[in-house]
Every structure is written in C-alpha cells, then in structure tokens.
Structure 1
Amino acid sequence: MATQKELLIELPEIFDFSINLAYMQRNPKECMYAVKEGTIMRALDVGGVRTLFQITCPDNRFLHVHFLTGIKPENKNAIAAFIRNWFDLDNDLTLFYEMAQKDPLLKQTVSDFYGLRNIGFPDLFEALCWGILGQQINLGYAYTLKRQFVEKFGESVEYNGQAYWIFPSYEEIAKLQPADLSDIKMTMKKSEYIIGVAQLMANGALSKEKLMALGDFKQIEKELIKIRGIGPWTANYVLMRCLRFPTAFPIDDVGLINALKLQMALDRKPTKQEILNAAVSWKDWEAYATFYLWRLLY
C-alpha cells in the first residue's frame, strides 16, 4: 500500500527495469536525472512546485515512486502521467516484438535488450531543444551543450548536497536574446532557433496539445518543419520521442545509418534505398526499430 509520499505505477509485461537503467546510464553528462545504486532521481516543476522524487523497481511489476521534497497530493496524478509518458508505458509492444523477432536486423537486438522502452521527453520544449542542440554534432558534445544550457537557465532542487535540475521553461527562454546564450558553446543559429521555439510556445502559437489536435502524422510533421531550425530529422525525432508516433522515422540519422551498417556487415554506409528496403517489415513500428538499433551503439 502506497503512502501519501509514495506512488505505485503498474508496469506492462514487456518491461525490464535493469535494461532501462542501463540505457539511462549511457552518458555520464546527463543532467536531467541521476541513476544511483539501482534508483532514479529526478526533479520536476509541477504547478509551480519543485518536486524531487526517487524511482525504484524491486519486482519489475511496479515502479515505486518516493517523493522526497515538495510533494502536494493534488500533483501526484500529474507526476504519474509524466512518468508513464517518460517510459512510454502505455504503448503495447506485443506486435513490435512479434515483428522484430522475425526480422534479421532486429531479432538479436530485441533479445539482448528485451523490455527496453523508448524513454522520451514528455515536455515538448525540452524535446525540441534537445533536437536542435543535437543537430550536426556528436552525442557527447550534445550532452555537454545541454548541461551548460540547463545549469545556466534552469532551476534546481538541492538534496543531500546535490543539485537536481529542472529543464528551463520556455517562458524564461522566450525573454532572452541570442547574446544571452553566448556562454554556451553552440552556434548563434542554434541560440536563435531555441529562442524562436520558446517565443512560439510563449505566445501560444505552438504547444503539444495543438500539434496532437492535428491528428495526422504528416500534418504534424509539416507543422514542425515550418518552424525555423526544425528540419525533417528534428521533426521526426520529436514525433518519435515526445509525441509518440510509432511511424516516426528519422531516416537520415547518423546513429541509425551506423547501426544498420553494423547489422548489415557493410564496409560503407547503407544507401537511403537500402534503408527503406530494410524498413519495409518495420511498418507502423519504425520509431521502435530505430530506437533499438540506436541502442547497439549507445
């Protein structure tokens, strides 16, 4: 029985906490959560209240969420919804696994990482910023930029001598000029793009709700690509990691290309047509196929 400072979240059958923890520890520069001794620590701002919580999973049947600071009973449902979205718990992966176990490029991968979820970005602004920050640079440097951005403009919760960071709000970033981001070692263009996205969200022109209300995948993709700094790769990344469209497919992604090169045992990059041919059997599950192939590399 959960207490007022606890929350239990039931897990789907296809879920493995240790596999997901291993994924979450892939880069030591990650600053939006901390993994310590089999637990996850994360801070969120919910309704203006900074809440720090710890997630454990002793039996692989429930996530046990322990609130350490700042909990209000009325915010527990919002935090539960955030965690369910973060771990993509409401997506039934049965059909994906049935397909992947027959696919020559995926069958070993889904066996090695059985129970891995597409751990994403419930917050649209964070997803768009991460997509922009990661454009045309390696993953390690993208994490460095994110940490600089978060620590300069975000808020934090202090607990046992450690700071747990909350991603900067679009309301605050919308007030900035590109020069205000000059300490962060990214291009001026990326600074402009991030501020532009923040301003669109601050004036109500862009929101997760408005995008989802469009309903159609292609229409949402077109709407995202209209935004300065958002191309097809970033749009599909956000559709995949935030808006949770299983058909999202960042086909030009370097990680996907390198993973397929490895799986196909090629001495060159696969062509776009070779990728499309390989993806025929992934229909309706392109996002998860991509995510699992990424996991081969990082």
Structure 2
Amino acid sequence: MSLNPDECYRAICARDVRYDGRFFICVHTTGIFCRPVCPARTPKRENVQFVESAAAALAMGFRACKRCRPEVKAGAAAWGLTDASLRRALRLINTGALDHQTVEEFAARLGFGARHLRRLIRASLGVAPNRLALIRRATLARSLIEGGDLTMTQIAAASGFSSLRRFNDVIQAEFGASPTTLRAAAGRTPRGSTGETSLILGSRGQANWAELYAFLRARTIPGVESASDDVYARVLTLGDRQCGVALSADGDQAVRASISGAAIAQFYELTALIRRALDLDTDTAAIAKVLRSDAVLRPAILPGAELRLPGSWTPFELSVRAILGQQVSVKAARTLAGRIAAQFGERVRMQGMPAGLSVAFPTAARIAAAEASDFMALGLTRARATTLVRFARAIVNDPGLLMPSASLEQAIGRLVALDGIGPWTAHYIALRALGETDAFPASDLGLRKAYAALTGHLPSAAELETRSQAWRPWRGYAAQYLWTYLAHLELGAKTSDVAA
C-alpha cells in the first residue's frame, strides 16, 4: 500500500474500519502509535506520521497504545506486497522461519543473498528481518501475559526467549511496561497452569469467524476434528507430543485458542500454525477491493463478508485430503479421510482433550508403510490408493517436497513430477498447504460452474486459466470466492459439500 497522508488522516478522523491493519498512526507528541480505529481523541494532523506496519512503528521507538492494542496486528503485511519473493519471505518470517536459522541460511533457502533480503524488507517495512522476528515473539508473549494463566518463566520459554532477563527487557522496551504491570492491567492472576491455556489471536481486519467455522465444519475428519456450537477443535501432533486446540470467535477481530497438552516451548510454534491455518495475518478487505474491481468477480464478493483463505494444519494431511478429493465431493473425501485416520492414526493418549477427539491424523511414515490394498479395503479406488501410498513414500524420502519453494512454478513442477499428481492436485496443495496464494486449480469443475453462473458461459480449463491472469497475485482468493458463491447458489446456505 502506498500511503497517502491526507487519505490516512481522513480515515482516522472517521475511524474507518476498512483501514484497520492497513496502516498505523505514530503520534510524536505522546510517543504512542495507534490503529486507525483507536477510540482515543484524534491527534492533530501536524503531530502524526503514518507507517505501513506495527513493526516499523516499534522500530522507530513508538510504544503501542494501551486502548487500541495495535501490536496484535504486528505481523509483517506480506499480503500487500507486489514482489512475490518478498511476500514469501515475510510469510515465512511470520511463521517463525528465523527462529532456528540465520538470515543467511534463510535467504539461501529462498534463492537469493542475505544482503538482498535485508534490503527488500527494510525498504518495504523499515525494519531488519531479525527485528520482525523479535516483534513477533514479543507480541506472542504479551498475548500470553494478558490472556493466559502461565507464569512469566513459562511465558518466556513459550515465546522463544532464551532467558527471563531477556524476556523482561524486551517486553519493557517494546510495550513501555513490565510483564507484571501488563498482567495486572489486564486483571489476570497467574495460576501456572500446565493444563489448558487460552490466548487471543488478533486478526488483520475482521476475523470473519463464521465463514472460517463453516469451512472447517464441512471438512471435519471424525475423531481428528470436531465442530459444534461455533467451536472448532482438533488433535495436533507437535514433535512426539499430542495436543488439543479449540478455536472460537473472540469479538469481531480475534480468535480465542484454548490449548491443552502442548509443552510450554511449543506455544510459539503452535500459535504460528493457528494463524497460518486461519489466514489471520491477511488484510482480506484490501484483497477483496482489488478483486471486486473485476466485473465478473464483483457479484461474488459481498461488502463486509470478505473471505479468508484457510491453510493447512500439516502439509501432509492437506495433501492426503487433496488426493482423496480428486473428482469427488468434500463429503466423500471426508468420509474416506475418517476411515484412514481410524485405521492408521495414533490414538489420543492424553487426558483433557476436547470432547469428540480420539485420534491423530496418520503421519506420512504410517501411510508409506502400508500397501495400496489396505486403502482399497477402505473404499479407495486402485488408482487413488496407489497414488496415496506412492505420495507418502515420496514425502518420507524427501520431506522438502512439502516445504515452500522459491516460486509457485517451482512448487507445481515438483508436485506434478510425482506419479498420480496432476495440475489440479498440485495447485490445491500449493494453495492450502504451501501458502501459495496465487495458485489456481483451473480445471476444477466447481470453479468452472461458478464462472458459468456469473457469466452464462461454462469455460474450459484453459479458458479459465487465461481469464484468471487478471486476478494475480490473488487467484487463490478468487477461487475461494468462486467456490463459496457456487455453494450459496446450490444450497442457499453459507457452506456446501461442493465447495473445495
């Protein structure tokens, strides 16, 4: 986003929610930075400066406003960048890529030099890569301080700090208050719980939990997941440890996560996983505005109902869903996935798991050790069972196949090289498992039917692929709108088994 100071100031005077998360206001007279919707008195025009990220404001020495809590939107705004490599880098930093490797190693993984990476990120956000990673840790720590029941020592470990002293110093520097002061102001009393812990995950703009929940509910795998009363829960395996996660709305712009069974040191990884799976760091209103400019897509994008693009809980699980979903409905694929989980998944061992959860989704190693005939007995066709086993064995041999690539084209190329994986499956895996938001499975019948409903013409896959070029770099979001539009047409409801 190119910031127009006059437009930004008009937005904060109106407290326009459409701009929330798209820029931040630094007030020089107070040293505070705020969101455009902050309820505090509007500062004078000559006293403010506008920046594109909370990270930039923090790097400039401004402290977060205690009323509007801008730090909950401190993730790097990868959605707003035009350079594909930079978007990919920031998305990975948001999910903890710099926690266990140097900037040089990270840049090499992306296919360019560390100096170039630093220059790209500083030019876009005004901060260094490591600074972004530090802000991310501090933001998680604050959410645990104010919304959880862990002790400060536990929070320091959970948010990736090497020592309690470093944790205290960073929180004081970033938020202008000590951890104990922040907790007291939030009215929390530490219990040092090692059972269930709740934390609030802020979203960029409206969370739109209703649509996220509907999407997740339609795809729940029995035993692995459950969905009732607007609460989605599932079993996750982190390392050799099982944990349970229950998600629900917390107002319009946040999701509450109740976590049970996770080790303290895993909270950092777990919160990044949840944010990525729910697409919480994307400004969906900004993307919708771009896509709504297309005459064909416009009727499918309702104002105030901007869609998020759900990701995956594990790339392998999503890939299995994609293979099972080849040319069948979501309901049929869900049934098959439930049978596979029941047969090959590891039983839940821990106490206190959310109700209805009994098994973890099987690992690639478990499926790779089986034979195609084992899956044919569960209802898979011979071709699909063979593809599933071969795919699992390929992942066991080369886990890097399901890691982010330097480009969408590279990701698709690696996937279609595998037996039984065609362009539809490859694009779907890239879209939901690898975070490639420009992936677009043009041969999908649902997408073609949705386009036909909007235009009166059923396009071929090639025609739809050509037409989708106008929606770059957000073709994945365009697909989500088309799928949802078709679901509404066919069932007159918010969700449908025909949605992808």
Normalised by the length of structure 2, the TM-score is: 0.55
The corresponding residue for 1:19 is 211
Q: 1:90 to 1:27 in 2, by over 3 A?
A: closer
The corresponding residue for 1:107 is 298
The corresponding residue for 1:294 is 483
Uncovered stretches (5+) of structure 2, i.e. residues with no partner:
1-145, 151-196, 488-495
The corresponding residue for 2:278 is 87
Q: 1:177 to 1:167 in 2, by over 3 A?
A: same
Paired residues of 2:285 and 2:306 also in contact (CA < 8 A): no
**Given the alignment, which residue of 241, 247, 251 partners 1:49?**
241
Q: 1:233 to 1:160 in 2, by over 3 A?
A: closer
Q: Which has the higher contact order (CA 8 A, sep 6+)?
A: 1
CA distance in 2: counterparts of 1:43 and 1:283, whole angstroms: 35
CA distance in 2: counterparts of 1:109 and 1:24, whole angstroms: 20
Q: CA deviation at 1:109?
A: 2.2
| 1:64-83 matched pairs, under 5 angstroms | 64-67=256-259, 69-83=260-274
Letter paired with 1:9: L
Q: CA deviation at 1:91?
A: 3.1
SS of residue matched to 1:233: helix
CA distance in 1: counterparts of 2:304 and 2:360, whole angstroms: 29
**Given the alignment, which residue of 377, 402, 408 partners 1:208?**
402
SS of residue matched to 1:132: helix
Q: 1:43 to 1:160 in 2, by over 3 A?
A: closer
CA distance in 2: counterparts of 1:28 and 1:84, whole angstroms: 19
Pick which of 88-97 and 225-234 moved more.
88-97
Q: CA deviation at 1:178?
A: 1.5
CA distance in 2: counterparts of 1:112 and 1:241, whole angstroms: 24
- Structure having the higher Rg: 2
The corresponding residue for 1:2 is 147
Which protein has the bigger helix share? 2
Are 2:478 and 1:284 aligned?
Answer: no
The corresponding residue for 1:271 is 460
Q: 1:97 to 1:30 in 2, by over 3 A?
A: farther
SS of residue matched to 1:111: coil
Q: CA deviation at 1:80?
A: 0.7
SS of residue matched to 1:260: helix
Q: CA deviation at 1:226?
A: 0.5
Paired residues of 1:88 and 1:120 also in contact (CA < 8 A): yes
Q: CA deviation at 1:160?
A: 6.9
Paired residues of 1:200 and 1:206 also in contact (CA < 8 A): no
Normalised by the length of structure 1, the TM-score is: 0.89
SS of residue matched to 1:25: helix
SS of residue matched to 1:45: strand
Are 2:282 and 1:98 aligned?
Answer: no
Q: 1:289 to 1:74 in 2, by over 3 A?
A: same
Identity %: 23
Paired residues of 1:40 and 1:56 also in contact (CA < 8 A): yes
SS of residue matched to 1:163: coil
CA distance in 1: counterparts of 2:484 and 2:221, whole angstroms: 17
Are 2:451 and 1:257 aligned?
Answer: no
CA distance in 2: counterparts of 1:288 and 1:282, whole angstroms: 9
SS of residue matched to 2:218: coil
Alignment RMSD: 2.3
Are 2:439 and 1:248 aligned?
Answer: yes
Q: CA deviation at 1:205?
A: 5.5
Q: CA deviation at 1:284?
A: 1.0
Paired residues of 1:42 and 1:164 also in contact (CA < 8 A): no
The corresponding residue for 2:104 is none
Uncovered stretches (5+) of structure 1, i.e. residues with no partner:
none
SS of residue matched to 1:288: helix
Are 2:300 and 1:118 aligned?
Answer: no
Letter paired with 1:240: L
What is the CA deviation profile of residues 25-51 of structure 1, one whole-angstrom value per residue up to 9, with x for unaligned ones?
335766642222121111101121111
Q: CA deviation at 1:105?
A: 2.6
Paired residues of 1:33 and 1:43 also in contact (CA < 8 A): yes
Pick which of 105-114 and 224-233 moved more.
105-114
The corresponding residue for 2:363 is 169
Q: CA deviation at 1:87?
A: 0.9
CA distance in 2: counterparts of 1:15 and 1:253, whole angstroms: 27
Which protein has the bigger strand share? 1
Q: 1:166 to 1:113 in 2, by over 3 A?
A: farther
The corresponding residue for 1:154 is 345
Q: CA deviation at 1:138?
A: 2.8
**Given the alignment, which residue of 393, 401, 406 partners 1:199?**
393
Q: CA deviation at 1:240?
A: 0.8
